[in-house]
Structure 1
Amino acid sequence: MMSTWKSVLLASAMALTPVQAFAAQEDPEADAAAVDVAADIEADEAAAASAARERMQREMDEAIAFVEKIFDTSDLPPVEPARLTLAQTTTAALLPTGSLEKMMDNLYGKMFSTFLNELNGSSDLMISIKTGVESEQVAALDDKSKEAIADLFDPHRKQRTDQITKFVRPLISEVLTDIEGPMRDGMAKAYARKFSADQLTSINAFFSTPAGRSFADESLALQADPEIMLAVARAIPPMVTKFMDRAPELESEFKSVDLPMERQLADLNEAELKKLARLLKTDVKALKEHRDMWNAAAATEAEDVDDAEEDDFTYDRDSWSEADRQRVEALEAAYEEAYSAAYDARMEAAENARKNKSRKPST
């Protein structure tokens, strides 16, 4: 069956067809035109879906390659088979089938149900959006009134929500089960490298006891327990505040390390450009074109800023206080002096380099 939006497109196309095409219903060209429109829509949709899938696959491949680069294990020693076998027993206990789904239920179950409830039409926000009545006024209504309002718009909203849960939940379960196998394999290798054979044997012995089995079954899900999640969430604001309070101290520490600014392509001399071209296996001309393109873009941006400043009276120095104007002019003078000194130093260094090169005996 064609989707609603496809039907709308087809109907729109047919509406634009001359009236004569509909007057002669037996005209095969009219039928062919409608079929062609539908086929074009189907083909466009298929092409767009295929392109989107290919793009997504490329992005996922790039992301995986980046992760593999960060967590490269190629330089690690091979895992002893005996220890790996013991570790597989350990991880099978720690990550039994269904444990990821259990953890996700703890973490997102309530969030998912709350999200669905917000979308089912009875929330203050949705009623306000649909009716135009301010959300504060809607919030003052009792729940029974809100339910009645939502029922007016969608008498089947509960069934609609149930459908989402019914159709999406099995897919989530399937995906999480698919992840568990590779996750167990990775955990087994990590445990085999981290713990000795004796330690793994002791851990497995504990997991074979009633208390150990209970601990292993719940250990992963407990990481997403509401108590833990709430405690971590409450600990974040003080952490953020601490970073903000330490910002001036950190800034002064960074400034105390007098490192030169990172260089850009425009800062490289001819010899450095040639070296860069060799390393990149490209030519100097391409690098210079790229450099000049960025310089032109920067100049355009600077012009835009200047234009904006001209349009804004606050950049007019006559509108500044005397103290602000003197401070700006002093800094500008210092900048010009420093720039001039830096330029002179570069020229002197280049001249010295030429002199040193001319003094070296030719071989």
Structure 2
Amino acid sequence: MKSLNRLILAAGLAVLPVVATAQAAAPVAVAPVDPERLAAARALMDQIMPPATRNQMMSAMTQSMMGQMVQALRTDPTLAAVLEKDPRARALFEHFMQRQQEQSTQQLLANLPGMFDAMARAYARRFTLAQLHDMATFFATPTGQVYLAQAPTIMSDPDVAAWMGDVMRSSMQRMPAEMAKLMADLKALDSKDNAHGG
């Protein structure tokens, strides 16, 4: 079960990017935002991802990303062998990943208002009022509407999913060596403290 524990820890670490998306730290020094540009940026955020469908869209994107992570983890030979050998391990793994997906989705949804406020401020700082209006005009066109409808589905496109799977597999292959290095560094730190009477 030691290899399963290590892989579950790696799976937990793999979930962090999903959560981190909704929890990026605010900059220390923040330039003031022009109120007119901020109002236009907030209207643009509502146009890009309407409040009525926002939670559903974000949940779908999170589920898609988590599904791809789970698929990548399942292809890891060590984990696959453990899951094949012990049905209890398979059930634990499925339960763990289901819980991570639910918690990540809940956390993301709880933080959506703050995320969209932060995004509106970021748009207001980076784009002029005219540019914000141009974007709003584009998104009101038929092509803009198609873009808005299709953009959230990009992450589940087979090519994007395959790329994400490759990245996840590469991360998983690196993880045992990284965990071993971390444990060695912690052990060395502990030894150093003991040597100095700490």
- Partner of 2:55: helix, strand, or coil? coil
Cα distance in 2 for partners of 1:126, 1:163 equals 13
Q: Distance in 1 between matches of 2:160 and 2:72?
A: 20
Count of equivalent residues? 141
What is the SS of the residue equivalent to 2:29?
coil
**Partner of 1:199 in structure 2?**
131
The answer to whether the aligner puts 1:72 opposite 2:28 as a matched pair is yes
Alignment-derived partner of residue 87 in structure 1: 41
**What is the distance in 2 between the residues matched to 1:111 and 1:85?**
37
Contact 2:63 2:101 in 1 (8 A): no
Deviations 1:301-353 (A, max 9, x none): 9xxxxxxxxxxxxxxxxxxxxxxxxxxxxxxxxxxxxxxxxxxxxxxxxxxxx
CA contact (8 A) 2:70 2:97 kept: no
**Structure 1 pair 108/227, CA: closer, same or farther in 2 (3 Å)?**
same
Considering fraction of residues, name the structure with more helix. Answer: 2
Q: Which residue number in structure 1 is paired with residue 141 of structure 2? A: 209
Match of 1:175 among 101, 107, 110: 107
Q: Which has the higher contact order (CA 8 A, sep 6+)?
A: 2
Using the size of structure 2 for normalisation, the TM-score is 0.51
Measured after TM superposition, the shift of residue 126 of structure 1 is: 3.2
* Change beyond 3 A, Cα 1:114–1:87: same
**1:89, distance to aligned residue in structure 2 (A):** 1.6
Query: In 1, are the aligned partners of 2:34 and 2:124 still within 8 Å (CA)?
Result: yes
Q: Quick one: distance in 2 between partners of 1:112 and 1:172?
A: 14
* Structure 1 segments unaligned to the other structure (5+ residues): 1-63, 131-149, 238-296, 302-363
Question: Match of 1:207, as an amino acid?
Answer: F
Query: Aligned residue for 1:126?
Result: 83
Q: Aligned-pair distance for 1:179?
A: 2.2
Deviation at 1:217, TM superposition (A): 3.7
Which residue of structure 2 aligns with residue 184 of structure 1? Answer: 116
Distance 1:199 1:79, change over 3 A: same
CA distance in 1, matches of 2:55, 2:99: 21
Runs of 4+ in 1 over 6 A off after TM superposition: 160-168
SS of equivalent to 1:73: coil
> Aligned to 1:98, what secondary structure does the other structure show?
helix
Structure ID, larger Rg: 1
2:59 aligns with 101
Distance of aligned partners of 1:104 and 1:225 in 2 relative to their CA distance in 1, 3 Å threshold: farther
Tell me the percent identity.
21
SS of the equivalent of 2:38 reads helix
Structure 2 gap segments, 5+ residues each: 1-22, 171-191
Give the conservation status (yes or no) of the 8 Å contact 2:66–2:101: no
CA 1:183–1:194: 2 relative to 1, 3 Å: same
The TM-score normalised by the length of structure 1 is 0.31
Once residues 108 and 130 of structure 2 are traced to their aligned partners in structure 1, the CA distance between those partners, rounded to angstroms, is 32
CA-atom RMSD, angstroms?
Answer: 4.2
Aligned-partner Cα distance in 2 for 1:219–1:170: 23
